[in-house]
Amino acid sequence: MKLLLILLLSSVYLFSSEAFISSSDLREQMPKKNLVILDTTNPDTFDKGHIPGALRADISDFRHSVDAYQLMNSSKTIETVARSLGIDNDSIVVIYGHNQPKELLKASYIALSLITNGFENVSILNGGYAAWIEEYEGFISKTPRTPKTGNFVAKFNPNILVDLDYVKDNIGKIPMIEARPLRYFNAEAQSKGVKRLGHIAKAKSSAWSNKFDTDETIKSNEELNEVYIKTDGLNAEKEVITYCTGGLEASMNWYILHERLNFKDVKIYDASMREWGNRDDTPMEK
């Protein structure tokens, strides 16, 4: 009995350590009662077919508007939303999208929101819904389900989200990476909703999309370290700040660094360029 318990606990531990899991890994976990699968797509696409047992998670439930930008909702709101999705403190959460624009980023932002509020056992489905269909064609559902009410209790971590003043105070002191495409970083194009061209002074470009293959599967750790450590000059033991246009893209860099590569101190400037680039008193470079 003790050996069986150890094996079961080890299985849960190994699963929980996977930032990006395969479709076959998810399929093996489906018998577990504490598994919660979240789908980030729109209602119409969700109704046409989704992974069996999945619930649709709306990104708008995790964020709210402040002036021209958006910020993560309060811990109390995140707790309420998580409970409405059936999440307990001991749940296993897997998030995926249908390989449509921004759905993968919605997955990383929802994961960020949960982790920021004390929930750690979360993974993103590697390759998304397309990968699931490729491996388990026909094993889908079109029937919505009503989840039980979860008992998740949020415990906010104050060391993840940073604001404009924190970024200002640490320019040139803490490495900062930008998740937008290079053309925005280089001031060759203007980001939607951002008045000024260029990037935060002293920041480096590290587009989130470069970390994935065209099928939305994550690159190997060796390839990721080649970018983040060798090219971007980051140190896994030291602090780093990630930002983007408005939080979603930066959440993926944050998630990869924190969850996949085990960086010790990764922070995210949630308001990003939608705040920074619309002010006249913030240092920028082209």
Supply the pLDDT for residue 80: 98
**Token digits of residue 199:** 């990037």
* Mean pLDDT on 262-270: 98
Do 124 and 165 lie in one domain? The reply is no
**Overall domain count for the chain:** 2
Is the model more confident about 78 or about 7?
78
Residue 273 lies in a domain: yes
Do 95 and 8 lie in one domain? The reply is yes
Do 31 and 118 lie in one domain? The reply is yes
* Mean pLDDT on 108-116: 98
Evaluate whether 43 touches 253 at the Cβ level (below 8 Å). Answer: no
Residue 192 lies in a domain: yes
User: CA–CA separation, 156 vs 74, rounded Å?
Assistant: 9
Residue 44 lies in a domain: yes
Do 250 and 170 lie in one domain? The reply is yes
The band of 11, judged by pLDDT with boundaries at 50, 70 and 90, is very low
Percent of the chain with pLDDT over 70: 94
Q: What is the distance between the terminal CA atoms of the chain, rounded to a whole angstrom?
A: 63
Domain's final residue, options 135, 170, 189: 135
Residue 89 lies in a domain: yes
Evaluate whether 88 touches 151 at the Cβ level (below 8 Å). Answer: yes
Residue 261 lies in a domain: yes
Within 10 Å of residue 277's Cβ, how many Cβ atoms?
23
Residue 141 lies in a domain: no
Residue 148 lies in a domain: no
Domain's final residue, options 70, 101, 135: 135
User: CA–CA separation, 104 vs 134, rounded Å?
Assistant: 18
**Token digits of residue 130:** 């397309």
Do 123 and 185 lie in one domain? The reply is no
Evaluate whether 128 touches 99 at the Cβ level (below 8 Å). Answer: yes
Do 129 and 196 lie in one domain? The reply is no
Evaluate whether 243 touches 179 at the Cβ level (below 8 Å). Answer: yes
* Tens digit of each residue's pLDDT (9 = 90 or more) over 24-46: 999 999 999 999 999 999 999 99
Spatial strand order in the sheet of 239-243: 161-162, 265-269, 239-243, 176-178, 204-205
User: CA–CA separation, 273 vs 54, rounded Å?
Assistant: 33
Do 131 and 184 lie in one domain? The reply is no
Q: Measuring CA to CA, which residue among 231, 240, 230 is closest to residue 263?
A: 240
Three-state secondary structure readout of the chain: CHHHHHHHHHHHHHHHCCCEECHHHHHHHCCCCCEEEEECCCHHHHHHCECCCCEECCHHHCEEEECCEEEECCHHHHHHHHHHCCCCCCCEEEEECCCCCCHHHHHHHHHHHHHHCCCCCEEEECCHHHHHHHHCCCCCECCCCCCCCCCCCCCCCCCCEECHHHHHHCCCCCCEEECCCHHHHCCCCCCCCCCCCCEECCCEECCHHHHECCCCCECCHHHHHHHHHHHCCCCCCCEEEEECCCCHHHHHHHHHHHHHCCCCEEEEECCHHHHHCCCCCCCEEC
Percent of the chain with pLDDT over 90: 93
Do 79 and 196 lie in one domain? The reply is no
Supply the pLDDT for residue 158: 98
Do 87 and 178 lie in one domain? The reply is no
Supply the pLDDT for residue 9: 36
Evaluate whether 141 touches 50 at the Cβ level (below 8 Å). Answer: yes
Domain's final residue, options 117, 135, 153: 135
Residue 33: left if φ>0, alpha if ψ -120 to 50, beta else—which one? Answer: alpha
In this structure, what CATH number is given to the domain that contains residue 106? 3.40.250.10
* Tens digit of each residue's pLDDT (9 = 90 or more) over 218-247: 999 999 999 999 999 999 999 999 999 999
Evaluate whether 268 touches 162 at the Cβ level (below 8 Å). Answer: yes
Evaluate whether 127 touches 218 at the Cβ level (below 8 Å). Answer: no
* 258 has a pLDDT exceeding 70: yes
Supply the pLDDT for residue 144: 87
Supply the pLDDT for residue 82: 98
The residue range of the domain holding 105 is: 2-135
